[in-house]
A and B are shown apart, each in its own frame.
Chain A
C-alpha cells in the first residue's frame, strides 16, 4: 500500500506503552479500546455458556447439566451477552472511539466521567461470574421475573441485581457524556445535519439510556427489597403485583433492544457508503427515522406481556405502536439498499458482514412484526420462536455489525490491515453457523418447544441437533478472528492513514491517531458521505 511513513502502533513513538490500556486513561480512544477488549473477553465467556446450553440441548434429556445449573448458565449467558458485550461494545467502544472524531473534538465532554463509566464494568462483570462459585448464580433468566426470582437462591439473585445496577449506572454516565459531546462539543460551523449518521444513532440511543435505564434501577432496588427485607412489591402471595415488575422491567428492556440495535444502524450507515463508493442514500429520512424509533421505542414495552393478563385496549395499543416501528426501520433498510444500488461494491470482510447484517436483520425484523400481533404472539410466547427472533436481531444484527466494524476500523486502531482470507473464513463460518443455529429455532418454537427448559420432547431432537452444529460452527468461527486480530497487530500489512479512502473525519488524521486526534485544527467535514462529489485523497 501507499504509506510507509506511518509506523504501526507497536512502534509509533506517539503512543505510550500498552500499559495505558490497563490504566485510568482519559483518552477517549484508549477508553474505546478498553471497552472493546473487555467486551470481547466477556463475549468469549458468554459464548462458552452458549456452547454449554447447546451441548445440553443436543439430547432431549437433561444429561450434561443439572436443571439448576442449566438455569444458571442460561441466565448468565443472557446477562453477560447483553450487559457486558453488546451494550458496552456497540455503545461504549465505538461511541467513545468515533464520536469525538465525528464532532471534531479532541476528547469526550467529560473524560474523567468516561473513565469512571468504563471502570465500573470489569468489577460488575467479575462479580457476576464469581456468583457461579459462591452459592450459585442467578437462575431466573436475564428478565429476573418475580415471583421466580424471589424463590430461586437469594445470594445469586442479589449479586445479579447489584451487578446490573453497576452496569446500568455505567451506561447512564456514558449516555450523558455522549449527549453532551454530540450537542455541545461540535466544532464551530459543523451543523447537526452534517454529522455522520452514527452520531445521530448514538444521540438517539443515549436519550433512551438516560430515560429508561433509571427506571430499571428503581425496579431492581424494589426487587432487592423483596428478597432481602421481605417486602411484597412483586410477591402476589403477600398482596404484591408481579405484573408491575414486568411493566417497569420492559419499560427499560424494550428500549434496551434499541440501545443495542440503533448504534449498529449508525455503524452500518458509516460502512456501506465507504465500501460502495456512494453517498449514504436519504440522510434526512435516516435522521428522522432514528428519532421516530426513539419515540416509538419508549411506548411499545407491553408487547412483551401479551400473555400477562393485559387488558384488550392495552393489547390493541401496543400492537399498533409496535407495528408502526416497522415503518422507520423499513425506511432505513431501503436507504441502505439504495446506497448499495449501482455502487462500486468492494466485497471485503467488513462489507460481507454489513450485507449479511441486512439479510439477517430483515428476517429478525419480520418475525418482530409477527410477534407484535397478539394472536400469533400468544401462540409462540416463551417458545424458541422468540429466542430465534431475538438472536436474529442482536446476533444477526448487532454482532455482525460489531465484526464488520472491527474489520472496517482495525486499520484506524492499529495502523495495520486485517488479513482478508482469514476474515472471509470468519465471515463464512459465522454466517453459516448463525443461520444453522437459529434458523431451525423458528420451527421449534412454532411447534411448541418452550424456551429456558433443559429437556424437550424427543420429536424436536433433529432440529435441536442441527442448531447445536450451527453453534459449534459459530464457536469455531471465533478462532480465525482471534488469530487474525492478534497476528495482524504485529504482522499485518501496513495500512497507511486512510486505506479505504473514506471521507469521514476519523480517517483525516494519522492511523493510529495522535492523542489529540489531529495535529492541527479539526477538519470541517461538510459531506461525510460525498463519494463521487468530493475529491477523495488516497
Chain B
C-alpha cells in the first residue's frame, strides 16, 4: 500500500503546499518537482514520472524481506535436521493449481491494462474483476491447503517456516487483491483512472507481477526442492 500512498502524494502535493509564502518571492507560482503546472523556462517540467522508479525501489526492498526469509528457510534445511517423522510430504495438486491461478492472473491484469490504454473502460474493469477473483481464489485455495495439512504452526522448524513464508506471501496477495479492487473502483466512468491517467493501475500491476514472481520462487523452494 505504500506504493499507492507515495503515488498519490506526488499527485496531490502540487496543490497542497503547507506553508504560504509571499507571492513576490516566487512569481512563477506553485512549483513542485513532479507536478505538471510549471511555467515555461523552469527546469522542473522536464522531469519524467519517477513514481514507478520509487515503486521499483520499494519492491526491491520488499523482495529483500523475502530473500531473508528464503535464506533462513534454506539454512534451516541445510543445518537443522528434523527429528524422525518430522518431514512431511506436501500435496502438490492444490499448490500447482494455485501457481497456475496466480501466473494466469498476471496475464489477465496485463490484459486489463491494455484495455484501459485502448480506452475500453468496461473491458478493463471486467478483466480487473477477473484478476481480483483469481487472487481471491488463490487465497481460498491456500486456506483450504492450510486446513488439510497434517501440521500446525509450532509442529517443528519446517512447519513454522512454511507457515511464515506462505503466510507472508498470502498477506501480499491480500493487499494486492485490495489494490485491484481500489483500482477497479477508480477505473469507473468519471473515476481518477482513465486512458490518460493510469499510474495507479500500472503500479498495482507491477506489484501484482512481483507477488506472482515471488510465489513462483516460493513454490520452487518449498514444494519442489
Contact = CB atoms under 8 A, between A and B. Distances in A.
A195 B43 CA distance: 17
A27 B41 contact: no
Given A110-B9, A180-B50, A225-B164, A212 B44 contact: no
Contacts of A63: none
Contacts of A177: 54
B19 interface: yes
Interface in B147-180: 153-154, 156-157, 160-161, 164, 168
Interface of B: 2, 5-6, 8-10, 12-13, 16-22, 25-26, 31-34, 41-44, 46-48, 50-51, 53-54, 57-58, 60-69, 71-72, 75-76, 79-80, 82-83, 153-154, 156-157, 160-161, 164, 168
Interface of A: 13-16, 20, 23-27, 30, 104-107, 109-113, 116, 172-173, 175-177, 179-180, 183-185, 187-188, 210-215, 217-219, 221-222, 225, 229-233, 239-241, 244, 247-248, 251, 514-516, 519, 521-522
B39 to A, nearest CB: 10
Contact of B21 (A176, A212, A229, A516): A516
B54 A110 contact: yes
Contact of B2 (A23, A173, A230): A173
B162 to A, nearest CB: 11
Given A26-B16, A109-B54, A188-B43, A215 B32 contact: no
A515 B17 contact: yes
B160 A218 contact: no
Contacts of B68: 214-215, 218-219, 248, 251
Contact of A176 (B31, B46, B61, B157): B61
A516 B43 CA distance: 14
B164 A109 contact: no
A231 B50 CA distance: 42
Contact of B160 (A175, A214, A231): A231
A232 B157 contact: yes
Given A188-B46, A214-B62, A521-B42, A27 B57 contact: no
A241 B47 contact: no
Nearest to A522: B43
B5 A112 contact: yes
A16 B6 contact: no
26 contacts: A13-B22, A14-B25, A105-B44, A109-B54, A112-B10, A113-B5, A176-B58, A179-B57, A184-B47, A185-B47, A210-B64, A211-B61, A213-B61, A215-B64, A231-B164, A233-B76, A233-B157, A233-B160, A233-B161, A239-B80, A241-B76, A514-B21, A514-B25, A516-B31, A521-B41, A521-B43
Nearest to A217: B65
Contacts of A251: 68
Contacts of A187: 43
B34 A231 contact: no
Contacts of A244: 72, 75-76
Nearest to B42: A521
A240 B19 contact: no
A214 B44 contact: no
Given A239-B80, A241-B79, A26 B13 contact: yes
Nearest to A29: B19
A112 B13 CA distance: 7
